[in-house]
Structure 1
Amino acid sequence: MAQAIWFRGDLRLTDNPAVTAAVKEQQHEQGQNAPIPALFLVTPKQWQEHHWAPIKTDLLLRHLAEFRQECAERGIALHVREIASYTGVPAAVAKFCDEQGVNKLHYNHEYPLHEARRDRAVVKALQHDQVAVQGYHGLLLAPPQAISTQTGGFYKMFTPFNRAWRTHIKQANNWQVIRHQWPAATTAPELPEFDLPRRDSSAWVVGEQSVLAKLRRYVSDSVADYKAERDLPALDSTSRLSPYWELGMLSPYTAARALSELSPEFPYGLTEGADVWLTELAWREFYQHLMHHVPRLSMGKAFQEYTDNYPWRTDKEDFKRWCEGRTGYPIVDAGMRQLVQEGFMHNRLRMIVANFLVKDLRLNWRWGEQFFMEHLIDGSFPANNGGWQWSASTGTDAVPYFRVFNPTRQSEKVDPDGSYIRKWVTELAQVPTKYIHAPQQWLEKHGHSDYPLPMVDHGEARDDFLQTFKRVKNEF
């Protein structure tokens, strides 16, 4: 029986159960030297509908160029083909299996609504062609089916989810590296040229071995300081591994294994920094589980249904000023300029700028959600949606609606000496630290007029948001 691998959001060989199963079964059926065909489909129309950032596309295509060679060295012939959207995927996969003489296809499950529908259509098409299909849970440490409440439901609050998630990890209790007897090296199929919007991502490494090395360095050198430094954007001391989770170049299982070497009681007994970093992996999986359990999240709907009645403002000019980093609040502007220029934003800043858009400007969180996806190199629909709904107080386990970030206080807390602000808001480079978080008085006194005044008075905006939100909640 000829085996094949269908790669999607799992472009790696390490800790990839679909790869492991295909290699093992191929060797059993045909011997060690038989190469294994594999497929990855580029779907430009679908990426456009999902608001993929050009820098994310560039990172993926750069990685594919390296990864196909890494696959070939291990006897896996990775074919990359273009199909416009998910509607054409079943026919494309069936055609590939027919061309390659495949009898069994291995893949890893994906959980958002559109991906799940696509996979069901592929399974149905291949069953018609008498091709066996086997799916695995290779994208998460705990698949959605593995964690449930005592009543059999899903967790809607993160804290109890995190406890149950860690219990599941503890019970798994197997962090051994899987050793493969790879097939003999083969020739890498040619990588087609793609006419897609791209933006230079060369500041980010690609290739599985380079990504693994980046993980090892972070856990070895920096994870212990994560709790102390994670909210300070000027230090830039977070892992910057998020694009590799999103595109599947790195497995959360690999990261957990690295952390398990720090504590014999793993996932307990870690240092504070490592423990908080592990919690970030739990947040990632929490949002993936929600996508699986609550299809309406994939339809632009809020988790808290009554919040869909909130009368968001529709001022496009205000939204443009937020997008361009011209709000008059330095920490907000710094975060937005980093996003636009770098295709990345420090996580704490993501919360600050999101809170400002929704609760100071009272603009629809969906606008911000889409803008983030259009620019972020690590744009993940579940995590991005979850983060925006958290900030907007519309999601599960969201920040209470009456908690509104004060952008100036947040600025003083996360960037006390203004280093991050001065890096990205260059017109404030000469402003003394005493004034950097609210520079208008100093700018006026010293004749500077190229930085805008604050768009809104935070106190008044906060009151307007709270009154409106409370009314909507009471009327539901």
Structure 2
Amino acid sequence: MNTGIWFRGDLRRLDNPAVTAALESSRAHDSEAVVHALYIACPKQWELHDWAPIKIDLLWRHLEQFRQELAEFGILLDIEIADDWRAAPKTVLQFCQRHQLSQVHANAEYPVHEQRRDRAVGKWLTDNECSLQLHHGLLLVPPVVKTQQGNVYQKFTPFNRAWREHLALTGIAPLKSWNRITQPLQLEPMPTCPGPRRDSSTWVVGEENCRRALQRYIEEHVQDYDAERDFPALDTTSRLSPYWELGCLGPVTAARALQKLSPEFPYGLEQGADTWLTELAWREFYQHLMCHIPRLSYGKAFQQHTDAFPWRDAKDDFQRWCDGQTGFPIVDAGMRQLKHEGWMHNRVRMIVANFLVKDLRIDWRKGERYFMQNLIDGSFPANNGGWQWSASTGTDAVPYFRVFNPTRQSEKVDPDGSYIRKWIPELRDCPTKQIHAPMLWLQASGNSDYPAPMVDHSEAREAFLSAFKAL
């Protein structure tokens, strides 16, 4: 049986069940057999899903390196360009016919549009005497974890408990490795990237480099994750999120690295590693919700009654938030980091999101979209889940009456102002005692380069609480 691989958000060779299944089938009688693989680039789909140009650039750089790595193992990757996913059935079928394949392996993706695409492809292939075999290679735990009543978990804490129990029961799949072929395959030139690009060269690409970055983080920093993760100036979080999103790294690879730290895995880890594992569980929680609750793919709130909230239509205020000109230093530092790097520290993401929806009362969907349009690690399930968490509209929502005070948050996460000074040059000379609320210093020094706070936080908080309580 001639089998192939359809890569999507799983651009890696190791710990990829679709790759393993195709190789096992193709190499059963010939260890040098060429395995054909496909990646479909869809520029209109990227635009529809608000992919950031820096994310597109990282993808294209990784594809160029990845196809060379695959060729050393006898996997020949075709990169086809199609406008959007409506072309996927025809493109995959033509790929199968071109290489005389009777079966294609891929890893399931969970939002509504992805599921619809895969059903359409599966039908086209079946109608033409071929088949699509889907695996669960994007997750450590497939979306089968349910409550005792058979319902989807809607709170993270019990989900995390059940997720770990499932992981302990099933264990971590052993690493399946393959030898390089005798003569690496010759490759055609890469096609020109069909989408807008922004330089991502500060981020490594290629599966081997991504795996080294993961290993280095586990060995050198994960033990400090719990103690340091809330301090953006330290910059000691893993920065691996773009690689989870594109699938350059697999969650099984991360779990296997953590397993070496505790024979009782997923239990028995020290605090830093255990907290980092919990962050992987959060990522999977949002993937599970996307699979089971279709309305999340259509811009709807998880808590449906909150769709009636009277958000402000305030274009100028939204633009000031985007530009990092709110007058709240921690908010502005985060937004300027996003604009400059295409990335933002996770704790600061929570602060800027909370400010937009609760101080400015601007619809969380606008912030969600702006993040996706700028983040190198933009993940639809995680981004949607995070924004709804901040807006108190989602599952496991922060109670609506919990409203972050941006000044208190700033004092807590950036106590000496190092992060603020890095991203707001207007405040580099501001004394530490005043940097979180610098207006008096700005007035005394005659500095008019940095704006005054655009809202009174206490008044904004009361206005939000009043409006939300009315729901």
**TM-score range relative to shorter protein:** over 0.9
Q: Deviations over 1:91-148 (max 9, x none)?
A: 0000111111111100000001110100000000000111122110000000112x11
Question: Do the aligned residues in 1 keep the contact of 2:172 with 2:252 (CA within 8 Å)?
Answer: no
**TM-aligned CA distance change 1:374 to 1:295, over 3 Å:** same
> Deviation of residue 175 (structure 1)?
4.6
Counterpart for residue 462 of structure 2: 463
Counterpart for residue 190 of structure 2: 191
**In structure 1, distance between residues paired with 2:467 and 2:171:** 49
Q: Does 1:246 align with 2:240?
A: no
Counterpart for residue 118 of structure 1: 117
Letter of the aligned partner of 2:426 in structure 1?
A: E
Counterpart for residue 159 of structure 1: 157
**In structure 2, distance between residues paired with 1:187 and 1:115:** 32
2:147 to 142, 149, 152: 149
SS of residue matched to 1:235: coil
Percent identity reads 63
- The count of aligned residue pairs is 470
> Deviation of residue 182 (structure 1)?
5.4
| Structure 1: tracts of 5 or more residues without a match | none
Counterpart for residue 80 of structure 2: 81
Counterpart for residue 174 of structure 1: 172
Question: Do the aligned residues in 2 keep the contact of 1:109 with 1:137 (CA within 8 Å)?
Answer: yes
Counterpart for residue 434 of structure 2: 435
Question: Do the aligned residues in 2 keep the contact of 1:79 with 1:189 (CA within 8 Å)?
Answer: no
Question: Do the aligned residues in 1 keep the contact of 2:71 with 2:185 (CA within 8 Å)?
Answer: yes
**In structure 1, distance between residues paired with 2:201 and 2:242:** 13
**In structure 2, distance between residues paired with 1:177 and 1:240:** 24
Matches of residues 323-342 of structure 1 in structure 2 within 5 Å? Answer: 323-342=322-341
> Deviation of residue 178 (structure 1)?
1.3
**In structure 1, distance between residues paired with 2:314 and 2:150:** 44
> Deviation of residue 194 (structure 1)?
2.1
Question: Do the aligned residues in 2 keep the contact of 1:97 with 1:103 (CA within 8 Å)?
Answer: yes
Counterpart for residue 12 of structure 2: 12
Question: Do the aligned residues in 2 keep the contact of 1:32 with 1:182 (CA within 8 Å)?
Answer: no
Matches of residues 316-465 of structure 1 in structure 2 within 5 Å? Answer: 316-465=315-464
Greater displacement, 189-198 / 285-294:
189-198
Letter of the aligned partner of 1:131 in structure 2?
A: C
Letter of the aligned partner of 1:24 in structure 2?
A: E
**In structure 1, distance between residues paired with 2:106 and 2:190:** 21
Question: Do the aligned residues in 2 keep the contact of 1:79 with 1:191 (CA within 8 Å)?
Answer: no
Letter of the aligned partner of 1:103 in structure 2?
A: S
Q: Deviations over 1:204-235 (max 9, x none)?
A: 00000000000000000000000000000000
Letter of the aligned partner of 1:258 in structure 2?
A: A
Question: Do the aligned residues in 2 keep the contact of 1:332 with 1:407 (CA within 8 Å)?
Answer: yes
Q: Deviations over 1:395-447 (max 9, x none)?
A: 00011100000000000000000000000011000000000000000110111
Question: Do the aligned residues in 2 keep the contact of 1:334 with 1:420 (CA within 8 Å)?
Answer: yes
Counterpart for residue 22 of structure 1: 22
> Deviation of residue 34 (structure 1)?
1.3
> Deviation of residue 174 (structure 1)?
3.4
Q: Deviations over 1:155-202 (max 9, x none)?
A: 000000000000111112235321225555322343111242100000
SS of residue matched to 1:144: coil
Q: Deviations over 1:261-306 (max 9, x none)?
A: 0001100110100000000000000000000010000001000000
Letter of the aligned partner of 1:80 in structure 2?
A: I
Counterpart for residue 314 of structure 2: 315
SS of residue matched to 2:104: strand
TM-score, reference length from structure 2: 0.99
Question: Do the aligned residues in 2 keep the contact of 1:76 with 1:183 (CA within 8 Å)?
Answer: no
Counterpart for residue 57 of structure 1: 56
Question: Do the aligned residues in 2 keep the contact of 1:20 with 1:180 (CA within 8 Å)?
Answer: no
Question: Do the aligned residues in 2 keep the contact of 1:41 with 1:82 (CA within 8 Å)?
Answer: yes
Counterpart for residue 108 of structure 1: 107
> Deviation of residue 464 (structure 1)?
0.3
